[in-house]
Amino acid sequence: MKTVSNFYTEKLADGGAILAPMAGFTDAPFRMLCREYGSSWAVTEMVSAKGMVLGDLKGIEIGEPYPDEPNLVIQVFGGEPELVAAGSAKLYELYKPKAIDLNMGCPVKKITGKSCGSKLMQDPERAAEIVATLNASVPVPVSAKMRLGFDQLNVLEVAQAVEAAGASMIAVHGRTAVQKYTGEANWEAIAEVAQALTIPVAGSGDVGSKAQFELYKSWGLGVMIARASIGQPWVFAELLGKETLSLEEKIKTAYRHALLHLNWYGAQNLERERHLMRQFRGQLLKYFAFLPESKSELIKIESLAALQNFILEYFALDFSGFTSNELRRDYSLI
């Protein structure tokens, strides 16, 4: 049996919340902000293990670490044990993450249709084989993020199989795949999994308040934050009891996020900047959700200058001189 660091145990002992992986959101700029505000670690968006093996490295773009990124956990998806292991080994070789996480929770049809993501909840033996093979391929801990089941609750059976296969931690979203994000997350079911396993268990689903965070921690669970962090990466600081940011600080964070986004994805010219700002609109709508009347203007923003004008108009804050050289991406790796 390989010897691995107790990364997950050590980080969970710190008591902070964890940024959960989210498709389209947990890229380098967002992970950087969440880490600055106190996220214990951050999990990348899922990366195709098969794509890594076939040399299609475009898929790593959102998972690629920024320079000196601390406590990086890369999430992979795949349905074939050898491909998942080989792709993960390549990711480790490139980026030296602290851990590799297997996606067993994505409910999106284009993933489940390939027998990946939450579809693995219907095949505990194959899930365990993937984890065992992956575990043997990298010198770091392996974890799995799953749901309560696919169309029925069977998380305990799957979690026990994955633990026996060598997983160092399990994260559970408190809904089945068919529920997607409807209804309420079932944290009691997550707690039952934690009581039955010897490895750490983290829960995910609907956490946005300090009271919820403290309650679930008192149950012995790690706590992952997903949708509650979009448009408010400072939620990690608030959950730790730190002072709430002022409105000006929040708006400055939104603007800085836009700058980081442009830097990371390379706004070399105005046409590229327009493309990237359109791409960033989903984040802007979340940052300024408290101002619903501004939506029609936000969806028209296509440049940094337009964002500056929007902030000046609504909040009398002038960010025209605020620039940043942070987060320049190393394109030589892909």
Catalytic positions are 106
Cα separation, 168 vs 5, whole angstroms: 10
| Cβ neighbours of residue 196 closer than 8 Å, sequence gap 6 or more | 156, 159, 160
Task: Report CA torsion sign: 303, 309, 313, 316.
Answer: positive
- Residue 241 Ramachandran class (φ > 0 left, ψ -120 to 50 alpha, else beta): left
- Distances from the Cα of 21 to the Cα of 44, 74, 137, 269, angstroms: 5, 9, 22, 30
Angle separating helix axes 247-265 and 28-36, nearest 10 degrees: 150
Q: Which of 105, 184, 192 is nearest to 147 (CA)?
A: 105
Q: Which of 233, 263, 267 is nearest to 249 (CA)?
A: 233
Report residue 27: phi and psi, to 5°: -90, 180
